[in-house]
Structure 1
Amino acid sequence: MSNSFYHEIIKNLHVGYAYHRIICNSQGAPVDYEFIEVNHAFETATGLIGDDIIGKTVTEVLPGIGDSRFDWINFYGEIALNNTTGETEQYSPLLNRWYRVQVYSPATNYFITLFHDITREKQDLAEKNLLLTTLHDIVFEVSTDYRFTNVIVHDESTLFIPKDMIIGSHVADIFSKELVDEMLLIYQTTYATGKKQDFEYKSPLPGDERWFLAEIFYLKENESPRFVVSIHDITQRKTIEKSLFIEKERFRTTLLSIGDGVISTDARGCVALINKVAENLTGWCQQEAYGLPLEQVLTLVDEYTRESCENPARRVLETGAIIELNNHTILLSKDGRAIPVEDSAAPIRDPDGHITGVVIVFRDFTDKKEKQEQIEYLSFHDHLTGLYNRRYFDEELKRLNTPRNLPLSLLIFDVNGLKLTNDAFGHMAGDRLLRRVAQTMQEISRSDDIIARIGGDEFVILLPQTELQEAKELAKRINTALSHEHLEAGQVSISSGWSVKTVADEEIAEVFKAAENKMYQYKISERNSTRNEAIQFIMKTLYEKLPREQEHSERVSKISGLIGASMGMTKEEINELKTAGALHDIGKIAIGNEILDKVDDLSDFEWLEIRRHPEISFSILSSLNDYAPLANIILVHHERYDGQGYPKGLVGEQIPLPARIIAIADAYDAMTYGRPYKEPLTPEAAIQEIIDGKLTQFDPEIADVFLRIMSENNNEL
């Protein structure tokens, strides 16, 4: 047969036919192929027209083929170069079609492809698989932008709206905003986790009581990533669940209270059931109690009046509400015991909501009552000192504010130096100070005087029927006694104020304010001297705790003064600088000796503790007017010129000049005299460290001044 015969057959084939030549690079690897001949079926299957592509390469016709997930050129090249055959099924993103391609090579470098368009076959198979694997009432396919792209349903009457109105719609077009917001969160979770998510919802149609379960899957397919939503009608299950819930609620009230006394009644309020705990508490057994009126078995009276309490079953039957017994209720048992009880009573309802009885749950309240009394005590007493608290004081002030208690005197006290004690020695030391003050007040005051701690460091004594002079004498005795007490921060000191109400129409609030004002006047006049004494006491304690610190502080003060003088500071500035140098480590008072005296390398935690001392120093000194400027200097004396210091990470001249000076003096003395965990350096080695630290740890100008001083003194200070 002639070639024209075969060409005619190929031309009229229903299978896409194409004849190609492979193109290789200089190394012989396939890089392209040329279209030589195609038939009409190929044009139909691919959408490529023969007149447009014959004589051209595939990279000219389909420029994006190199980015395809499947390497078509290499696949064809292997067959054409080796005279073999092959077959594959692939999706073409460029043509948006699925193909089954059969390939064979009639001669080296040439190959023929037979294209079968199987896109519809793939879609049909996908739908069949979807139905076979889900077997649900409704299946939706939803795009990643939340639009319905397909609906698979056995019976379209089960849909809320017609199928053709759903496809193409956004979920927000069909469901309410509230439901859509909840749905989108589920979709997003499915996408993020790749796992199926379940979502229950009620039909959005008015009057439609159906419930549905949506199982949402995410299919991550390159050609068509989408959500698949399988819908089940779960109305019957919901109905059963509701019935079970009602039934469960009927029994739950009784069963959950088995550990307590339980009595249930019928609709007349007569006992139907009584459990073992209730038998023990009431003294009645089930056989004796059955059918008796509740009030005959559960005899309840008021703790104080001994009058009968209202029958709880009768009240529930009348109101349908859950009730609880009043406080101070006593159960009088059949054998004569009086038992404090607490209880509740609730209705028992049938499925239609009708009350068929009452369940009463009660328990022995004895232990709980004792605990409540303890709580009541704590609610009126300060937990630290055992004195009355502010709440009790306010109530007593109202109660005693009557003409028969006049003159009504008030003493107010403020503990001096509590914050200083807390900062320097810790809060446990502050607590000891407060307890000592409270104890002294109790020892000196009269037994019926009302003493209260009304604030962190404030105490008050309420003195009914007491003249002002007598109150002042009491304040003087308390002050004198405390002046002989010494704790961590030295002598205990308090400031006191007083006032008295002598006429009935005088406002008690004004009396309190007058006593408070007088106390503050004394506190202001005593503050500086008291705090200055406290600072000196803290330094003395620090030096006793760490004897080397005294010499270190004195040397740092001296070196700082020499640098300041060399830099032309005034006498006042030099004095301030030397004082700051002397106090720069006052914060170490709050750090334990086990860290400060440790000879081994410090742990990370221990270094963090050491690095706290500038902030502690600041807290101690900043509350005193005389020391406040020094507090700001000492806070930052461990900052570094390059910003790598602590506690603020200041850089360069952000660090106050005195702090930069003290930093050098402190570092040099620490290096030359050593620390428990580090051997001392020679003056020459320490000087080299200062030189090496210029522009990093130290201000270079101040470092040069220090180095000049050292040179002038032959490296001896």
Structure 2
Amino acid sequence: MKTFDATIFDLAPVAMWIEDFSGVKQQFDQWRSEGVADIRAFLKEDMRRVAACSQKIRILQVNSKTLELFEARDLGHLVDNISVVFSDDMFESHINELAALWEGETEFCSNAVNYSLSGRRMDIQLKGSVMPGYEDTLGQVLLTTEDVTAREDARRNEYSSRQHAEGLFEHSPVSLWVEDFSQIRELIESVRDRGIVDFRVFMDVHPEFVRQCMSEIRVIDVNQATLDLFGAPDVQTLLHRQADIFRDEMEKPFREQLMDLWEGKLYHQREVVNYALDGSIRHILLHFAVLPGHETDWAQVQVALTDITARKKAEAYLEYLGKHDVLTKLHNRAFYMDELNRLERKPLRPVSAILMDLNGLKEANDQLGHDAGDALLRRFGEVLNGVVSQPNHAARIGGDEFAILMPGADRKAVTSMVETISELLHINNQFYSNAPLSVAIGMATSQDGEKMEDLVKRADRAMYEDKRLHHTGGKTLEQKAKNGSALAS
């Protein structure tokens, strides 16, 4: 090598090696004579063959950058410790170089792992070129080894971060959607460009605009929790049947979502109602967020859906318990008092009231036990639930006391109600002949200027009179109604 060339070689900023592969060439010739055709498969079959080739390579010269990179004092120090430099997974990448030379190529490139003499791991980008005049013998091959550890670390970190993010997305217990809202942004901006100031009024006047925006949502990805939430077997089925999921009440909260976006609120949440593919309802807490970097185009937004169906059912049940008697399924006394107060404030008249008392409940409890008494109460609750519907309300207001409030009902309507109750009691008793239901009934219809409290008192007095007749053998209101007699006023 000429002095000028040697100087350039030694001063090169990249680690450079000149190596003798002639021993490898001789090994190749022997294997070919033995019938080896697929060198890659042959080497992978037994990695000791790769090691044998590596041992036949002789290092002729290295430059200063090589000694610096691998922390060697001189060429002898490097050669004596070459087993430290080329170890572990080096042989896997070495197959690529050997295969290139076997196939007659004069240049090759691969990524490998080397180690400095102190044991520092390095990712290496290796490039090799057979020097002119040595194509037949491979007596001199020029190699460069560039330390690309920083680049590979960054790539590995990026891959790890991406895997971490994808794992969080896919295995999140919350339904996650990544969507493209860019077309919706363009539609909103087109409205703004037309000089529209009151966007809410605009949507009221143009409901088709809301539906158009809904149709422009593009779903990019969903996670497994989304499929589970809506009972979808796969993503394709979910996307194909979005109309079955987002329907009915969904348009109203979507209008509010558009309103938030119009006002620049790129992060918001609200409760919505969706449906699973089997038609069952899903109460959802929706979290909407434009992802960082897409604040100006809305090309990627994340929608997180938390299933709050169980919570809503619990809330509804608690609300039900607050207004209903658990045993009879009728309204309770608290609801009854609220309804009386409401009717007092309303101008609607007349209002009719029916007060009822279950005869013989105490005796049933004393003689047969409370289970028997509860059975009577449940049966009477079923009767009232079967006959009373809105705007009328039936309530259990005491242990054996019941009431029906009938806004807008006159004397004829309340009389018809009592007759219907008596008929249902008669039918019910045919199925329970050993434990017949008997009820004392009092009714009243409001008079001009009469307070609800006074109306109820009149119905209550009528009920107690009916109960007295029951005990003294007189003809009760229930009996009159059952026999088709005219009810006393």
Q: What is the TM-score of this pair, normalised by structure 1?
A: 0.26
- 1 or 2 for the larger relative contact order (CA 8 Å, sep ≥6)? 2
Structure with higher Rg: it is 1
